[in-house]
Structure 1
Amino acid sequence: MMSTASLLDRIETQSATTAGARLRTTMAAVRVSFTWFGVRKSLTPQQKAQAAESFDAEGRFLSAAKKLIDTKHPAFRAVTAIRGGIEQSWKSQSLPFPEPGVRLIKQDQVEPFALQIDDLRIELRDAVAELDRHFDELKRAARQRLGSLFNPDDYPATLEGLFDVACDFPSVEPPDYLVALSPRLYEQEQARVSSRFEEAVRLAEEAFLSEFGRLVSHLGERLSGVGGDGETKVFRDSAIGNLTEFFDRFQRLNVRSDAQLDALVAEARRIVRGVEPQDLRDDASLRRHVASELSRVQSTLDDLLVDRPRRRILRGSATKEAS
C-alpha cells in the first residue's frame, strides 16, 4: 500500500506536469535586454602596478577599476531609475523560466508589453538626452577626481545611443524542421521542453511562496510594532498596499499547482479585505485581530517553507523513477 507521503509526492508531481503543460500553451517567452554605457574601466597594468606599490603588493594580484562618471548625479540617477522601473515591470508581469534572461508572459499580454517597452524606450532616450547635456560637466568633475588616472579617450563624444532597451520573444519550442530530420531527436527535445516548463512551475511556486511569506511577516511585524530583532517598527500604508498588489499579481499569474498555497493566499486576502491602513492605526482591537489572523497564516507558511526543499527532492526522485 502506498504511504500518505508517497501519495502526496505523486500528486505534486502530476500537478506540476499538468501546470507545466498549461504554462506551455498559455504563456510566451519574453526577454528584455539593455544596451548600457559602462561607467567603470579597469586600470592599465602600469596603473595597477603603481597602485600596488602603496600596499607593497604585486600589481598582477591586484584588481582595480576607475569610475568614469559620478553615478550619483541626478541626471544619471534618472536614467538608472528608468532601467529599474523597466526591470520591475517585466518581472511583475511575468514568471521565471529556467533559461538565463528569459521569463514567461501571458500570450494575450505580448503586444501590450511590447508597446509598453516602446514607450519606456522613448522615456529612456529622453533621460539619456538630458544626461548628455550634463556630460561635459561630468567629465570635468571626473578629471578633478581621477587626477592622473583621467584619460579623455575613455569617454565617447556623446552618450546618446549608448543606453537602450529592447524586448524579444524567443521560441523555446523544438523547431518544426526537426520532425523530418530526426523524429527521435524531436521527441527528446519535446521531453526537454516539457521538463523546463515543469521547472518553471517550481520556480514560480518558490517565488510566490517566498514573497508571500516576506510580505505577511512584514505586515505582522508592523501591526505588532516590534520586529524579530526587538526593534520598534513603524506601520506604513505600503505594508498593506504591497500585500494587495501581490494578491492581484498572484491572481493574474498563478500557475494553480499548489492548492495549499492558493488557500493560504485566499485566506490572507480575506483577512485584509476592506481594511484600510488608517483603520489599523485608529482601532487597536482591529489591529490585534488582523495580527492574530495573519499569525496563523504565517505559521502555516513557515511549515511550507521548511517542507518545500524536501518535497522538491522527492518530486525530482519520483520524476526520475517514472522516466
Structure 2
Amino acid sequence: MSTANLTTASPVSDSPASESHALGDNEVNPMASVSERLQAETTAVRLKIHWPSVRKTLSSDQTRQAAGTFDADTKSVSASKKLLDTNHPAFRAATAVRKQAADHWKANTLPYTEPGMRLIKRVDVPTFDVFMTSVRAELNEAVEQLELHFDELIDQARERLGDLFDPADYDMNLHRLFGIEWDYPSCNPPEYLLQVSPQLYYSECSRVQRRFDEAVKLAEQAFADELEQLVTHLGERLRGDGDGSPKVFRDSAVTNLAEFLDRFQRLNIRSDDQLDRLVADARRIVGGVVPQHLREQSELRQRVATELSRVEASLEGWMTERPRRSILRRSR
C-alpha cells in the first residue's frame, strides 16, 4: 500500500535568540516586550503523524477507460480508487487516536509563523511528552487490532473494486505505515554562526524576533476568532427565532465556550488588555451556568443572550481595528 506521510507538525521556537544572558534559563525580564516574553516562555513542538494512503490514482489506461464511459476527454478526467473501508470499526479506532493526538497538540499550543510548527509553553513540555507517549502506545494497540482484521478488509476491497483490485497496493506491515512522532526543534540561528559571521548571526536573531512579533498577532487573532465563533453560536441559540421561540441547543454550545475560556487562561500571552477583558466578560456571563437551566429559565436565557450580544459587538469592534496580518514565512 502506498504510504502518505500525514504531517501534523508544529515547530515552536526553542531557545530565545535575543534573550539577555544575564537572566537564568527560566527567568524572564519583566521589561521585555510581549514577543520577547513569548520567545522566552515557549519552545517549538512539531507533531508528525504517519498514515497510509487509502486512495490511489488510477493508471493512465484505467483513467482512459473511465473517461470513455462518459465520452469525456481523458485530460479532463481524474479518477482514484478507495483501497480500504475507512468506516470499519478497527480503522475508525485508529483514526480516533490520530484525532486525539492532533487535537491535543492544537489545544495546548499557540500558532507560529512557520508551516507545521506551533509554540508550547516550556513548563508544559513534560506533560505534553507524557501524553503523546501514551497516545502513541494507544495507536500501536489500535494498529495491532487492525492487523487482525486486515485480511478481511482486503477481501472486501477485492470484492468492491473488481478489476481495479491490485494486491500490490497493500503493505501487510501496518506498523511501518502508522506512527506518531514529535520533536522540539529550535527556531533560533545556530550558535556557531556567531563565530563565523556575527553580522549574519544578529541579522538572523532579528528575523527570529520578527517572527515572534507576528506570532503574538497570530495568537491574538486565533483567540479572537474562536471566541467570536463560540459566543455568536451560543447567542444565536439563546436568542431564538424571529418569533421569540428559543432554538434547540446542545450542552456543547455552553461547554465548548467554557473549555475555550479555560484554555485561554492557560495559554494567554497577556498581550492585549481589551481582549483579556472581553474573555473575562464572557467568563463572568457563563460562569456556573448550567445548560439545562438555560432551557428552563427564560429570564436567565434572555439575560445571558443580551450580555453575550454586548461581548460579540465589542469583539467585532476589536477585530475591525486589527486587520488580519499576512503570515511571515521562512525564506527558502
Is the counterpart of residue 279 in structure 1 residue 304 in structure 2?
Answer: no
CA displacement, residues 181-217 of structure 1 (integer Å, 9 cap, x when unaligned) = 0011001100100011111111111100000000101
Residue matched to 1:213: 228
Q: How far has the Cα of 1:91 moved from its partner?
A: 0.5
3-state secondary structure, aligned to 1:134: helix
Residue matched to 1:190: 205
Q: How far has the Cα of 1:62 moved from its partner?
A: 2.4
Is the counterpart of residue 168 in structure 1 residue 177 in structure 2?
Answer: no
Is the counterpart of residue 142 in structure 1 residue 157 in structure 2?
Answer: yes
Q: Mapping of 1:2-21 within 5 angstroms? A: 18-21=33-36
Residue matched to 1:263: 277
Whole-angstrom distance in 2 between the partners of 1:143 and 1:225: 51
Instruction: Indicate the larger mover: 209-218 or 279-288.
Output: 279-288
Whole-angstrom distance in 1 between the partners of 2:206 and 2:234: 42
AA in 1 matched with 2:292? Q
Aligned length: 295
Percent identical residues: 54
Whole-angstrom distance in 2 between the partners of 1:255 and 1:190: 21
Q: How far has the Cα of 1:232 moved from its partner?
A: 6.7
CA displacement, residues 263-309 of structure 1 (integer Å, 9 cap, x when unaligned) = 11111111112222222122211111111111111111122233321
- Contact 1:40/1:67 (<8 A) preserved: yes
Residue matched to 1:85: 100
- Contact 2:97/2:139 (<8 A) preserved: yes
Whole-angstrom distance in 2 between the partners of 1:59 and 1:292: 58
Structure 1 residue corresponding to 2:305, chosen from 291, 295, 311: 291
Residue matched to 1:304: 318
AA in 1 matched with 2:155? R
TM score, norm. by length of structure 2: 0.85
Residue matched to 1:42: 57
3-state secondary structure, aligned to 1:160: helix
Residue matched to 1:71: 86
Q: How far has the Cα of 1:231 moved from its partner?
A: 10
- Contact 1:132/1:160 (<8 A) preserved: no
Whole-angstrom distance in 1 between the partners of 2:75 and 2:251: 52
3-state secondary structure, aligned to 1:166: strand
CA displacement, residues 139-176 of structure 1 (integer Å, 9 cap, x when unaligned) = 11111111100001111123233111011000001110
Runs of 4+ in 1 over 4 A off after TM superposition: none
TM score, norm. by length of structure 1: 0.87
Whole-angstrom distance in 2 between the partners of 1:273 and 1:137: 50
Q: How far has the Cα of 1:61 moved from its partner?
A: 3.7
Closer/same/farther in 2, CA of residues 20 and 155 from structure 1, 3 Å limit: same
> Gaps spanning 5+ residues in structure 2: where?
1-31
Residue matched to 1:103: 118
CA displacement, residues 99-140 of structure 1 (integer Å, 9 cap, x when unaligned) = 111100010111211111110001011111111111111111
Q: How far has the Cα of 1:37 moved from its partner?
A: 0.9
3-state secondary structure, aligned to 2:257: helix
- Contact 1:224/1:291 (<8 A) preserved: yes
Whole-angstrom distance in 2 between the partners of 1:67 and 1:274: 48
Q: Relative to total residues, which structure has the larger helix share, 1 or 2?
A: 1
> Gaps spanning 5+ residues in structure 1: where?
1-16, 317-323
Residue matched to 2:44: 29
Residue matched to 2:260: 246
